[in-house]
Structure 1
Amino acid sequence: MIDFWLAVGLLLLVALGFLLIPVVRGRRAQQEEDRTALNVALYQERIAELAAQREEGVLSAEQLEAGRAEAGRELLADTEGADQGRVARLGRPLPLLAAVLVPVAALGLYLHFGASDKVELTREFATPPASMAEMTSRLERAVAAQPDSAEGLFFLGRTYMSQNRPADAARIFQRTLAVAGRQPELLGQLAQAEYFASDKQWSPEIQALTDEALKADPKEVTSLGLRGIAAFEGQRYQEAVDYWQRLLALLPADDPSRAALQGGIQRAAERITASGGSPAAAPVAKGAALLKVNVDLTAGLKAKVQPGDSVFVFARASSGPPMPLAVKRLTVADLPASVELSDSDAMMPQLKLSNFPEVQLVARVSRAGQPTKGEWVGRSQPLASSTSAPQNLTIDSPDL
């Protein structure tokens, strides 16, 4: 802010210069006028002396005229180069008063109508915050400076949610809706904030918000995830699986939340099985590939791995790019396990199981959490991507 106020001061000096320079010039002009008036008075006095000497007979008529001519030349020489007299001029007090009032009035108007707080915030956002608390403080001041900024309100609400302040987030999302309109994404965020603010108690208001959001956009991810959470908490496990399967199909292949979502689907399916039911399979689009894989460890490896070690189960093209076409992440503690690999698990949209006629199944234990490198691995023989029969895959070899 210091350089800003220095620039303001420099501009004020320039403005004062335009006001004070005419005053200084006016003083010089006044001095010139005073000198000219004195010369004229001396000329008139000289003419009067010459006339008196003529009357006394001291001077002849020719000498009188010569004296008058000489006095005229002297007056002309003394006044040569002088500025023309001003018809009218402002008095000195008015420019001086303006010189004082202009900067005072300008400062007052700027403080009232200006945006010094926004200038300061812009400077702050140019540097990364030292902590989450500092970022929150910046966002709060940005919202105070621009209360009609939907973007600022949205980010503040998300920040409150990340800090486990759902009640504050709900209040901010309500304001965001008033500014930006009832957009599906905002409705989902508000429903989520109100759900956690009410200690995970589902209510007609939350139901109405998610209904409105999904009606406007059936792919609204926050509402789908929230419906799945609410169904799982209410022990409606098949309903939770359905919502989470819909959400899983929408997430990018590299989205970090996919693993947690798949874990939630698996837990819900286990609860259905434990209660004597059978989880309904997710609908598969026409022409899409779906591989069912039963994964386990050999008995000799169970003592060499840790329950928290990551297990990646994936399919890759037998002839084609080496990267996985579809992948699921588990842990050793989940084994034995049954997983499904489909086009919805594709790492990249253009690399789907159904795009390759023959694939190989791979299961890898990786303590570092890397799907491409680990300690132990199991591989299947090449098989058609259209295979519908369940496949058994055993992790039994060192990963060299």
Structure 2
Amino acid sequence: MIDFWLAAGLLLLAALAFLLIPLLRGRRAQAEEDRTALNVALYQERLAELTAQRDAGTLDDAQLEAGRAEAARELLADTDGTGEDRRSRLGRAAPLLVALVLPFLALGLYLHWGASDKVALSREFAQAPHSMEEMTSRLERAVQAQPDSAEGWYFLGRTYMTQNRAADAARAFEQAARLSDRQPEVLGQWAQALYFAGDKSLSSQVRALANEALKKDPQEVTTLGLLGIAAFEDEKFADAIDYWGRLVAVLPQDDPSRDAIAGGIERARQRMLEKGQTPPEAPVAAATDGVTLKVKVDLTAAVKGQVKPDDSVFVFARAVSGPPMPLAVKRLKVSDLPAEVALSDADAMMPQLKLSAFPEVQLVARVSRAGNATAGEWIGRSKPLSTAQAGEQAVTIDGPDQR
């Protein structure tokens, strides 16, 4: 931050110069004016002496006129070049008072309305965190600086869940749900956090959130997994097989969680057999094929002149109707452009949010000097496109990032 404060200090000095320089010039002009007044007073005194000498008979009229002319020439010589006549004069007290108050006023206004916290935070995000605690601290300060960021609250909730802080995660997901228009993926995460925060109790609030999520998206994976767990814990094994079976049906073939879910289904079937019940057949459908989008990324000529070679470039896809966070992301540098990247399910930021799970996405390329994927200086967007129409796409970074 030292370079920022140095720049602010230089701007403050420039502002003070506009106040103090006219004041100093005014003082010099005042001194010249005082000298002129003294010369006039001496001239008038000389005229009075000459008149007195004429009245006393020491000088005649011709000598009096000659003395007056000489005194006038001396006065003109003394006042010549003292500066133009000033129509107004700058006061001294007001500029000095403003010069003293201005630095403190500027500092107070900046600390109240400025964005020094966002500047420091963007620099931190440009560096990789050394621990999960450091990442959590960054995300907490990020949502304080940008409380209207649904992405920030969502990732903070996910981070809390990895630290077994389910109650804190529930509060974060609640904010994310409010800011994202209650997207089903966020509702599923919120319900899951409340479930674990309440000692694995399927409360009325958890049930309501789960029902709302499945009403909006019957294949919402977090909700299906949660209801399967809750049903298994309550020994409702048929329901657990149903939920987990629907979950496996929508997961990609290479998803690492498929084996664990299949194992849960088998345990539920065994429990039903032990109780003499007939287990239902799990409706496991064929897994969705993976989706790969090839994206050509470039800059317009106007943008090329305003970016630096080391600036980060984030290329990502996000659902047109779905969660606000990116589904798949690749990171480049400006010096790499133009470039072609491939976005696929393997680039998913979270296993349950894959390209193949969403029928329509938008491609985005963002230049961020601070290395922040959610905010930057320049951006380019594609029109909404169908993930079923995999092929080559193009995104040109052509305008300022106005969020």
Band the TM-score falls in, shorter-chain normalisation: 0.5 to 0.7
Does the 8 A contact of 2:249 with 2:284 survive in 1?
no
User: Quick one: which amino acid aligns to residue 98 of structure 2?
Assistant: A
Does the 8 A contact of 2:227 with 2:240 survive in 1?
yes
Structure 1 position 222 matched with structure 2 position 222? yes
d(CA) in 1 for partners of 2:51, 2:355: 116
Structure 1 position 185 matched with structure 2 position 185? yes
Question: What is the deviation of 1:91?
Answer: 3.1
Structure 1 position 282 matched with structure 2 position 283? yes
Question: What is the deviation of 1:231?
Answer: 2.8
Question: What is the deviation of 1:97?
Answer: 1.3
Change (3 A) 1:253 1:13: farther
Does the 8 A contact of 2:32 with 2:82 survive in 1?
yes
Q: State the match for 2:231 in structure 1.
A: 231
d(CA) in 2 for partners of 1:176, 1:8: 36
d(CA) in 1 for partners of 2:355, 2:24: 77
d(CA) in 1 for partners of 2:147, 2:253: 37
Q: State the match for 2:172 in structure 1.
A: 172
Deviations 1:287-340 (A, max 9, x none): x9xxxxxxxxxxxxxxxxxxxxxxxxxxxxxxxxxxxxxxxxxxxxxxxxxxxx
Partner secondary structure for residue 218 of structure 1: coil
Deviations 1:218-273 (A, max 9, x none): 12221111122223333444433332333233334443333433443444455556
Partner secondary structure for residue 226 of structure 1: helix
Which structure 2 residues correspond to residues 1-400 of structure 1 after superposition, within 5 A?
1-269=1-269, 277=278, 279-280=280-281, 282=283
Moved more, 267-276 or 38-47: 267-276
Partner secondary structure for residue 31 of structure 1: helix
Larger-gyration structure (1/2): 1
Moved more, 12-21 or 130-139: 12-21
d(CA) in 2 for partners of 1:268, 1:284: 19
Change (3 A) 1:182 1:261: same
What TM-score does the superposition give when structure 2 sets the normalisation length? 0.63
Does the 8 A contact of 1:272 with 1:279 survive in 2?
no
d(CA) in 2 for partners of 1:265, 1:238: 9
Question: What is the deviation of 1:40?
Answer: 1.3
Deviations 1:190-232 (A, max 9, x none): 1111212223232333222111110112122211111222233
| Ranges in structure 2 where 5+ consecutive residues have no aligned partner | 290-353, 357-403
Does the 8 A contact of 1:167 with 1:193 survive in 2?
yes
Change (3 A) 1:11 1:272: same
Does the 8 A contact of 2:173 with 2:190 survive in 1?
yes
d(CA) in 2 for partners of 1:85, 1:186: 74
Which segments of structure 1 move beyond 6 Å, counting only runs of 4 or more? none
d(CA) in 1 for partners of 2:170, 2:76: 89
Question: What is the deviation of 1:148?
Answer: 3.7
d(CA) in 2 for partners of 1:53, 1:253: 124
Question: What is the deviation of 1:117?
Answer: 2.8
Deviations 1:6-63 (A, max 9, x none): 2222222222222211221121111101111122122222323333343444444444
Deviations 1:72-93 (A, max 9, x none): 2222222122223444434322
Equivalenced residue count is 289
Does the 8 A contact of 1:170 with 1:190 survive in 2?
yes
d(CA) in 1 for partners of 2:137, 2:71: 84
Does the 8 A contact of 1:118 with 1:145 survive in 2?
yes
d(CA) in 2 for partners of 1:284, 1:197: 33
Change (3 A) 1:112 1:122: same
Change (3 A) 1:258 1:73: farther
State the superposition RMSD in angstroms.
3.0
Deviations 1:89-141 (A, max 9, x none): 34322211111111122222222333333333222222221100111122223
Q: State the match for 1:367 in structure 2.
A: none
d(CA) in 1 for partners of 2:355, 2:166: 34
Change (3 A) 1:246 1:180: same
d(CA) in 2 for partners of 1:348, 1:14: 53
Q: State the match for 1:395 in structure 2.
A: none
User: Quick one: which amino acid aligns to residue 126 of structure 1?
Assistant: A
User: Quick one: which amino acid aligns to residue 159 of structure 1?
Assistant: T
d(CA) in 2 for partners of 1:209, 1:48: 104
Change (3 A) 1:118 1:148: same
User: Quick one: which amino acid aligns to residue 75 of structure 2?
Assistant: L
Greater relative contact order structure (CA < 8 Å, 6+ sep): 2
d(CA) in 2 for partners of 1:348, 1:61: 112
What TM-score does the superposition give when structure 1 sets the normalisation length? 0.64
Does the 8 A contact of 2:238 with 2:280 survive in 1?
yes
Does the 8 A contact of 1:253 with 1:348 survive in 2?
no
Change (3 A) 1:276 1:88: closer
d(CA) in 1 for partners of 2:254, 2:47: 108
User: Quick one: which amino acid aligns to residue 207 of structure 1?
Assistant: R
Partner secondary structure for residue 103 of structure 1: helix
